[in-house]
Amino acid sequence: MADLLETDTVVVGLGAMGAQTLWRLARQGVDAIGIERFSPGHDRGSSHGESRIIRTAYLEGEEYVPFVRAAWRAWAELEEASGEELVRRTGALMLGAPDSAAVTGSLAAAERHGLAVEHLTTADLAARFPQHAVRPGEEGVFEQEGGAVLPEAAILAAVRLARAAGARVLTDTAVTRIEPDADRPRVHLGDTVVRARRVVVTVGSWLPTLLPSLAGLGGGIRVERRVLGWFRLTEDAPPHARGPVFARDEPDGTLWYGFPSLDGRTVKIGVHAEAPGAPRRPGAQWGEPVDPDAGPRAPDEADARRLGELAAGLRGVEPLPERMAACMYTMTSDEHFVIGHHRDLPGLVVAGGFSGHGYKFASAVGSALADLARNGSTDLPVTMFDPHRWDRRVPGRP
C-alpha cells in the first residue's frame, strides 16, 4: 500500500518559480511541501548560468511593466529576508536600429508608464559605452532600473527560507503523476501519495510531460535549446565590469544579450532569438527541440563560433568563449507566460511557458501563485497570462 502524506499545498518543482512560491506560502504559515526531482540550484533545467537580466521598460510589451515593478519589490523582500544581494543593479541598455523592437519597444513601454530612460544616439553610445562596437545609425535606450538577478543563489535562498519557515522539502524526488481533484488532488511520488488542498505545478520544461493535457496549449508548448558563452576579457578591455546588462537587436533580427563581467574575468552572452526566416546556420539555436529528460545537446564548436560572431560586437573580449552551458527555453505560441487555474485540472495552479524571459518575474510569480493557491485569486497583474486566453481569441487577431 502507498504511504500517504497530507498537507495544505504541494509545490511541484523547486526551480525559479517553485522555490519562491514555497517560501511565500511558508512565511504566510501555510503547511506546504516542496518536491524537486534534482537538488535546488541544479543545472538541468532553465535556471542556471549565474545571471538573468531584469529590466523595466519592457520591450516584449508595455503591459508587463506593472508586473516587473511588483517583481522588483518582491526581489527586495527576498534580499531583506535572506540578507543576500540577489540582484546586481547595473542598469540596462537596449541597442538596435531606430526602428528595431529593442529601441521602439523599450521607448513605448517607458512612455506609457512614465519610466526614466535615456534615448542615446550612436555618438552617445560610443562615448558612454565603449565596450559596444556600435554601427553607424545604431541607437540605445538606457534605463537605470535594470540589472542582473542571480538565479541559483535566489533559488537556494528561497528554499532555505522556506525550510526555516516550516516547509517540508523533498529533493531528488520526482513526481510521477498528478490526479486533479477539486477536493484533494493527489500527487504521486513512486510509492508515496501526497494529498493536498491545492497543488502548484512549476516544473518548467517538464510541463508538457507531467501534464500532457497542457502540451497543446495555444497551439503547443515547445522546449528548445539555448547556449550561453563566457568570453574572457582581454587586457586592454574597456570597463566591462561596470557596464549595464544589454540586449542587442541585429539588422537581420537576431536578438542577443549579455552581462557585464560579474566575476571580473569574463563577459557572458547568449542568443534569445535568431533572425526570423533566416536559413539555419551552424550553431543557430532557435527552434532546436529538446526532450527535457535527456536534456539539451552539449555545446559544441558550432555554438562557440556562432556566439563568437555576436561577441565581435563587443570590444575587449576573446574571439571564442572559454566555457559554455546549454539550457532550456519553454516556449508558448505567443511567447507570453501561462499562470493560473486551469479549468480542466481542478485543484491545480499552473505556471509555465516562460518563453526565455521569465526569471526576472520569479519573485512576483511566487507571490501570485501563493495567493492563487491560498485564496483562489491574486491582486497581482497576471490575468494576461490566463491559460484559457487562446480560447477567447478571434482567428486572425493577436
Residue ranges that bind ligand FAD, judged by CB under 6 A: 12-18, 35-38, 45-47, 49, 52-53, 174-175, 202-204, 206, 210, 226, 228, 270, 327-329, 352, 354, 356-360
Q: Which is nearer to ligand FAD, 75 or 129 (CB)?
A: 75
Distance CA 347, CA 5 (A): 17
In the complex, minimum distance from the CB of residue 32 to ligand FAD, in angstroms, rounded to a whole number:
15
**65-82 helix and 16-27 helix, angle to the nearest 10 degrees:** 60
Write the CA distances from 230 to 269, 270, 318, 322, integer angstroms. 7, 9, 10, 6
Write the CA distances from 207 to 1, 222, 263, integer angstroms. 28, 10, 33
Q: By beta-carbon distance, which residue lies closest to ligand FAD?
A: 15
In the complex, minimum distance from the CB of residue 145 to ligand FAD, in angstroms, rounded to a whole number:
14
Q: Which is nearer to ligand FAD, 222 or 226 (CB)?
A: 226
In the complex, minimum distance from the CB of residue 235 to ligand FAD, in angstroms, rounded to a whole number:
28
In the complex, minimum distance from the CB of residue 121 to ligand FAD, in angstroms, rounded to a whole number:
26
**Looking at the chain, how many residues does it have?**
398
β 255-259/245-249 pair status: antiparallel
In the complex, minimum distance from the CB of residue 164 to ligand FAD, in angstroms, rounded to a whole number:
20
In the complex, minimum distance from the CB of residue 352 to ligand FAD, in angstroms, rounded to a whole number:
6
Q: Which is nearer to ligand FAD, 123 or 325 (CB)?
A: 325
Q: Which is nearer to ligand FAD, 110 or 174 (CB)?
A: 174
Q: Which is nearer to ligand FAD, 120 or 159 (CB)?
A: 159
Query: Helix H segments across the chain?
Result: 16-27, 65-82, 101-113, 122-128, 151-164, 207-210, 301-311, 362-375, 389-392
Q: Which is nearer to ligand FAD, 268 or 341 (CB)?
A: 268
Distance CA 10, CA 91 (A): 37
